[in-house]
């Protein structure tokens, strides 16, 4: 490596204060929190039910590979991804736990699915046939999970034609129906009867299965895992709560999951402004009194959205400081009042500092979205530090 080359992703600080070769901005992921959350799920579901840890979208922004390893260490039986490429990445990094691609890939992905020993969601005969042919060519057996659409109306085989597809799979010599599953549309709402209706439809399909097959039956997402014991079946699929974020207000105070992710930075510039000065593009806010302006080296190019402009807070010295002006691509500014600040002060964008805390839920509420989106937005331009490896 020359004097001018940098590592593409730095997983640990280069000094004890958390400074980086690049900008002083980073994500911390506590892998002990991931392990704790798997154990919480295990206590909830009891013996005899498997756990799938869903690590799609780069582990919801936390880092798929470290999260997958920590989850398996803590007792997760399966891993779930959305894309064939995500499954391949796990395999190339030495993860040998069963991996299910949770959405049906195109038939052109069949060769890679068989090569990397991945289980595939299937919804169509065309894809099943492609997997059978590729498995035959390689002398292997394709493992399939048939997805039943019971009311989500996104993807899946209609309940009315599911058994016909099961029989078609039985006729192909190089495929095995490893699992069957459905996906809930409103499991986070305990007042809704839709989850029970979807379960009724799903169980209606299962009652028609030929006796000679015994697939893994799964339905529960994070919300259903904690709010609907009926849905546990053979395996639960845990996504958002794996990361310590609640799938529903109904689970607050009910389960002891721990947020795994913190987003932090240090100031790149500090200056004093008089009253009436504009800050950032468009001068959407003017200072109202003499104040300290702290520039933070992170912006919408990192996934810290421009929609946080003038409405979101950060924590410095255990107190809240409001963003002033528009969030830029690589930087944004906060107003610190007349307190004294230093470049080495740690700034918390998501996480706890002293008695104060900024959560992904708080930021989601500002945007009218969900906590899932907040953590998934933080892209790979922001280095990750993994605690408690």
Residues assigned a catalytic role: 56, 281
Interhelix angle 64-73/31-45, rounded to 10 degrees, is 50
CB 231 within 8 A of CB 199: yes
Dihedral sign from CA coordinates of 222, 228, 233, 234: positive
| 106 CB burial (10 A radius; 0-12, 13-18, 19+) | exposed
Q: Tell me the CA distances in angstroms from 257 to 44, 78, 243, one per residue in order.
A: 12, 20, 8
Q: Compute the half-sphere exposure of residue 27: CA atoms within 13 Å on the CB side of its CA.
A: 25
Residue 141 makes CB contacts below 8 A (sequence gap 6+) with 135, 174, 175, 176
* Helix H or strand E encompassing 142: strand 142-149
CB 42 within 8 A of CB 51: yes
Q: Which residues pair with 357 in a beta bridge?
A: 352
CB 385 within 8 A of CB 11: yes
Q: Tell me the CA distances in angstroms from 125 to 107, 136, 153, 161, 379, one per residue in order.
A: 10, 16, 19, 11, 36
Q: How far apart are CA 364 and CA 308, in angstroms?
A: 10
Q: How far apart are CA 195 and CA 221, in angstroms?
A: 11
Task: Supply 299's token pair.
Answer: 């912006």
Residue 258 makes CB contacts below 8 A (sequence gap 6+) with 30, 33, 36, 37, 244
User: Among all chains, which residue has been given the structure tokens 């039956």?
Assistant: 217
Q: Which of 57, 135, 136, 55 is nearest to 99 (CA)?
A: 55
Q: How far apart are CA 366 and CA 239, in angstroms?
A: 23
Interhelix angle 84-92/64-73, rounded to 10 degrees, is 70
Strand duo 319-323 + 119-122: pairing: unpaired
């Amino acid at each position: 490596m020359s004097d001018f080359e940098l590592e593409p992703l730095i997983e640990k600080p280069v000094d004890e204060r958390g400074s980086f070769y690049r900008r002083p901005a980073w994500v911390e992921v506590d892998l002990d929190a991931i392990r704790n959350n798997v154990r919480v799920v295990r206590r909830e579901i009891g013996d005899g039910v498997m756990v799938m840890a869903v690590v799609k979208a780069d582990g919801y922004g936390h880092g798929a590979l470290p999260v997958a390893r920590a989850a398996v260490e803590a007792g997760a039986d399966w891993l779930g991804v959305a894309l064939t490429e995500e499954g391949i990445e796990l395999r190339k990094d030495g993860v040998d736990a069963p991996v299910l691609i949770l959405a049906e890939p195109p038939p052109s992905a069949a060769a890679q699915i068989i090569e990397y020993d991945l289980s595939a969601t299937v919804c169509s005969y065309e894809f099943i046939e492609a997997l059978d042919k590729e498995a035959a060519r390689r002398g292997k057996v394709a493992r399939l999970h048939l997805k039943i659409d019971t009311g989500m109306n996104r993807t899946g085989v209609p309940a009315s034609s599911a058994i016909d597809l099961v029989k078609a799979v039985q006729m192909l010599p190089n495929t095995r129906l490893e699992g069957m599953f459905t996906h809930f549309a409103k499991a986070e709402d305990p007042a809704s009867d839709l989850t029970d209706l979807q379960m009724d439809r799903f169980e209606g399909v299962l009652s028609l299965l030929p006796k000679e097959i015994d697939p893994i039956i799964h339905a529960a997402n994070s919300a259903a895992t904690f709010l609907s014991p009926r849905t546990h079946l053979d395996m639960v699929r845990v996504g958002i709560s794996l990361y310590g974020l609640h799938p529903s207000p109904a689970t607050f105070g009910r389960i002891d999951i721990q947020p795994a992710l913190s987003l932090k930075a240090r100031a790149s510039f500090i200056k004093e402004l008089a009253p009436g000065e504009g800050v950032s593009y468009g001068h959407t806010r003017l200072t109202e009194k003499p104040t300290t302006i702290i520039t933070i080296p992170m912006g919408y190019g990192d996934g810290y959205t421009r929609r946080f402009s003038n409405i979101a807070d950060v924590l410095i010295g255990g107190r809240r400081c409001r963003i002033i002006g528009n969030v830029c691509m690589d930087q944004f500014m906060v107003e610190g009042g007349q307190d004294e600040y230093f470049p080495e002060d740690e700034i918390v964008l998501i996480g706890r500092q002293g008695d104060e805390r900024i959560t992904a839920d708080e930021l989601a509420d500002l945007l009218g979205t969900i906590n899932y989106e907040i953590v998934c937005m933080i892209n790979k331009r922001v280095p990750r530090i993994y605690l408690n490896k």
